[in-house]
Structure 1
Amino acid sequence: MKKLLPFLFLFTAGITATAQHTNQCGIIIPPNSLRSNFASVYEAGGYINNISNRINWQENFQVREQNGINNAYATIIRNQRYIVYDNNFLERLDHYAGTKWASISVLAHEMGHHYYNHMVSGSGSTQPKELEADFFSGYAMAKMGASLEEAKAAMSQIASPGGNASHPAKANRLDAIAKGWNNARGITNEPVTRNRVPDPQPQQRPSSASNDASWIHLSLYNNNNMTVYLSDDGRRFSQAPLKTNQPFVFKYEVYDYGWLRFGNSSNARTYKLFHGRDYAIVWNRRINNWTVIEIS
């Protein structure tokens, strides 16, 4: 198992009020101005290994870093399970919540989705699934030695107060985390429910039909990495770094479609992308420039 590297934190007395945006998982995105002064590179894989060891579970997924997505999520890509995370997002989250346990609990939440096989159904997020993953997060945090307040730190700061069809309200999520934490500590008197952490599961390989088809897969056919710009509303664009050796997997946050630009200006070529489709950036010799094509 990887040796975990130490962290150095900055604790702030307060957070300056700013416009809040949420990602597709119902999480308030910490402002870009917040930066945590880590003493080393964030090692998500090391924490995940540590959690797995504490609960005696052989994880059945791979971990992939993909900066620019402002999120961490569990998914299945071409018959392989993954946890994909944005390193910068997790570092800002730790600073925003004031504790290193914030990002660890988010990773544990995504582990819970794989632990309970939520991704195999291909039906997307639902409130019961999210509450089970929150329960798992609380359980894992207790096993890691976090206090109840530390286990709830991330959701206390960044969960949306109101729920929707796919994600529960903050109060319900905090309650699920507390139930998981109490269950791990053996101090709950509540009857065992479907939220109980089950026995360790064997490696499972889902069928090809179980891939989560709602995510956009954007591939780059180039010898060098490239930065493009993505937007939910066609007005505000954010950088998205693409790598030649892996697809950029994402969702837009407002509609089931959004926009991609090759430059950060209104004159740049702009393309409309839809959820559930695969796209590729290729060189078009006829126009002597890069273009976006849909892959069927």
Structure 2
Amino acid sequence: MKILKAFLLSFALCSTAGVSAQKVFASAKYTQMCSYYGEAVTGDIHAYKPEASAESAVKNIMSVIGLKANFELRAANVPNAAAVILKGKRYILYNPKFMANINSVTGSDWAAISILAHEIGHHLNGHTLDNVGSRPQTELDADEFSGFVLGRLGATLADAQAVMGTIASIKGSHSHPPKSDRLIAIAAG
């Protein structure tokens, strides 16, 4: 639990590296992503080494499910977080500023971990293999996975649902289901 607290504190205090120090990682126009909000990502994606705290969170997530990561974690200039395959390799891309902000907005120390677990769920469930991007059912699968992982890490149901209860759309969209369905999926996990 101390490791999780240290991760969350570090996430809240982190800032991203300057764009000038980043190399172009990929062009978004050639990339299908399972993005947390389902928005289109345009332009070049710049990615860089993740913070140690984010790496620690991913290690903790993977430890409770007993699997090795089949992806690499990268901090990036994406709007929030995304599971993506680039050049045949799986990645979890996340925006450190978004993660710090979402922890602050939700008032939950579990928000960033929930989002990382959700994106990991996309890779482990094979959602990124078809190159289609986000769809309501795959989002529900990833939400359920996130709920399962957070429960195993010691979060309460309220902790696990905090981020979704705060930011999910009531109506849903062509790529993401409505908030009520997402909260049910997290609870099922």
Same fold by TM-score greater than 0.5: yes
For 1:140, the equivalent position in structure 2 comes to: 149
Q: Which residue pairs with 1:57 in the alignment?
A: 67
Q: 2:140 aligns with which of 103, 107, 131?
A: 131
Contact 1:27 1:159 in 2 (8 A): no
Secondary structure (helix, strand or coil) at the match of 1:43 reads: helix
Percent of paired sites with the same residue: 40
Task: Give 1:9 shift.
Answer: 10
Q: How many residues align?
A: 152
2:151 and 2:162 map into 1 onto residues whose CA distance is 13
Distance across 2 between alignment mates of 1:123 and 1:111: 17
After TM superposition, give the deviation of residue 26 of structure 1 in Å.
2.9
**1:115 maps to 2:124:** yes
Where 1:60 maps in the other structure, the secondary structure is coil
Deviations 1:164-196 (A, max 9, x none): 11100000000000000xxxxxxxxxxxxxxxx
| 3-state secondary structure, aligned to 1:81 | strand
1:26 aligns with 2:37: yes
Counterpart of 1:178 in structure 2 is: 187
Q: Which has the higher strand share?
A: 1
* Aligned match of 2:161: 152
Q: 43, 63, 67: which is aligned to 2:53?
A: 43
What secondary structure does 1:65 align onto? strand
Q: Does the 8 Å CA contact 1:9/1:95 hold for their aligned counterparts?
A: no
Work out which of the two has the higher radius of gyration on C-alpha atoms and give 1 or 2.
1
Question: Is the helix fraction higher in 1 or 2?
Answer: 2
The whole-number CA distance in structure 2 between the counterparts of 1:172 and 1:121 is 23
User: Aligned-pair RMSD on alpha carbons?
Assistant: 2.2
Gaps of 5+ in 2: 13-34, 40-50
C-alpha distance in structure 1 between counterparts of 2:38 and 2:90, whole Å:
22
CA distance in 2 between partners of 1:27 and 1:156 (Å): 17
Q: Deviations over 1:123-144 (max 9, x none)?
A: 2111110000000000000010
Q: Distance in 1 between matches of 2:136 and 2:11?
A: 33
Task: Report the secondary structure of 1:76's partner residue.
Answer: strand
- CA–CA separation in structure 2 for the residues paired with 1:74 and 1:92: 20
| Displacement of 1:44 | 1.3
Higher relative contact order by CA 8 Å / sep ≥ 6: 1 or 2?
Answer: 2
Alpha-carbon distance in structure 2 between the residues aligned to 1:99 and 1:127: 25
Alignment partners' CA distance in 2, 1:139 and 1:53: 13
Could you say which residue in structure 1 is the equivalent of 2:22? none
Q: TM-score, normalised by structure 1?
A: 0.48
Alignment deviations for residues 205-234 of structure 1 (CA, whole Å, 9 cap, x no partner): xxxxxxxxxxxxxxxxxxxxxxxxxxxxxx
Query: Counterpart in 2 of 1:74?
Result: 83
Q: For residues 64 and 160 of structure 1, what CA distance do their matches in structure 2 show?
A: 27
- Aligned-partner SS, 1:82: strand
Q: Structure 1 residues 9 and 57, CA, compared in 2 at 3 Å: closer, same or farther?
A: closer
In structure 1, give the amino acid aligned to 2:142.
Answer: A
1:86 pairs, out of 89, 95, 113, with 95
Structure 1 residue ranges without an equivalent (≥5): 11-23, 29-40, 181-296
